[in-house]
Amino acid sequence: MLLAVNIGNTNMRFAVFQDQKETITWTINSKPYRTEDELFAKFSSMYRPFGIDGSEITDIVIGSVVPALTISVQNALMKIHGFEPMIVDRNTPSPVKHSSNQMGTDLYANAIAAHGGSYKGKKIVIDFGTALTFLGIDEQGQVGGVVIAPGINTALKSLVGETAQLPEIELIRPQSVLGMNTEACMQSGMVYGYLSMIEGMIDRINQEVGEKCFVISTGGLGGVYAPLTNKIDTDDRLHTIKGLKLLYEMNR
Ligand SMILES: Nc1ncnc2c1ncn2[C@@H]1O[C@H](COP(=O)(O)OP(=O)(O)OP(=O)(O)O)[C@@H](O)[C@H]1O
Ligand SMILES: CC(C)(CO)[C@@H](O)C(=O)NCCC(=O)O
Ligand SMILES: [K+]
């Protein structure tokens, strides 16, 4: 069985791909950064609650956008499983072409899963993580470019943290765009505001590439925003981690 790990700035997402059965997935906070020993202790007890027998894991792939965690996670997993997990990044060979020497592994994995999936034509991948990213890729696997904006929780935390009178809110759609109480006003800004950005960016990217792209969303809040717009064609919270799996299979 293959274990794939996507180390993000907020969460480390784990997924175990089983042959016939459903994929099992869970997350562990990335922060505070833990030592290798702490990670080893934490990881040692993480399989059982999910009904996984750790000894059945024969392959491990790690993708990371947090350099401070990459090697510690690799070493902790190596101590548990007795073999070296493969670390992949933007330079790991694949049919996806890009010219960036900075592209985060999650963005590269998003491109690979979009190109390797059954989607047709040009694609946009929107990742609702710590950062909100858009990636455009054409039918030949050429990455057209990326957009990086503050993630929704990141923006909300900053807004609440920098103000005296604004409270934490739940990210749900308010009754109307114009609100009459603080909570509804903020929900409008966060939900309709970001939705407007997302729809507007999709339109702009489509215009720039001269085609109506197929739009895939992933990341923590994809499941909240995708149902609110018909411009997102599908939401798959495992999209990034499926890209890591494909990268592993192409390079093992
Ligand atoms: N209904 C919801 N309301 C508010 N936040 C939510 C909701 N559903 C998911 N989230 C957020 O999504 C996060 C899980 O997302 P995920 O595992 O993709 O990592 P991430 O935080 O998106 O980013 P990164 O990949 O950068 O670590 C949770 O920590 C939570 O903050
Ligand atoms: C943009 C994020 C933070 C999204 O997780 C990550 O992909 C990253 O740190 N990237 C490095 C910079 C770049 O992709 O150009
Ligand atoms: K930073």
Query: How far is the centre of ligand 3, averaged over its atoms, from the C-alpha of 242 (Å)?
Result: 25
Burial category of 244 from C-beta neighbours within 10 Å (exposed 0-12, middle 13-18, buried 19 and up): buried
Q: Is 89 a catalytic residue?
A: no
Identify any residues that bridge with 138 across adjacent strands, giving them in sequence order. none
- Cα–Cα distance, 144 to 39 (Å, whole number): 37
Predicted confidence at residue 238, as pLDDT, reads: 97
Is the pLDDT at 225 greater than 90? The verdict is yes
Alpha carbon dihedral 242, 211, 132, 105, in 10-degree steps, equals: 40
Summarised one tens digit per residue, pLDDT across range 77-126 is: 999 999 999 999 999 999 999 999 999 999 999 999 999 999 999 999 99
Total count of residues recorded for the chain: 252
DSSP notation for 43-108: HHTSSGGGT--GGG--EEEEEES-HHHHHHHHHHHHHHHSSPPEEE-TTS--S-B---SS--HHHH
Choice among 106, 127, 235, 236 that is catalytic: 106
Predicted confidence at residue 247, as pLDDT, reads: 98
Q: Are 152 and 226 in contact (CB under 8 A)?
A: no
Summarised one tens digit per residue, pLDDT across range 228-248 is: 999 999 999 999 999 999 999
Q: Are 190 and 153 in contact (CB under 8 A)?
A: no
Query: Could you say which ligand is closest to the alpha carbon of residue 6?
Result: 1
The ligand 1 atom at the shortest distance from the C-alpha of residue 130 is: 26
Query: How far is the centre of ligand 1, averaged over its atoms, from the C-alpha of 82 (Å)?
Result: 31
At residue 214, φ and ψ (nearest 5 deg) are: -80, 130
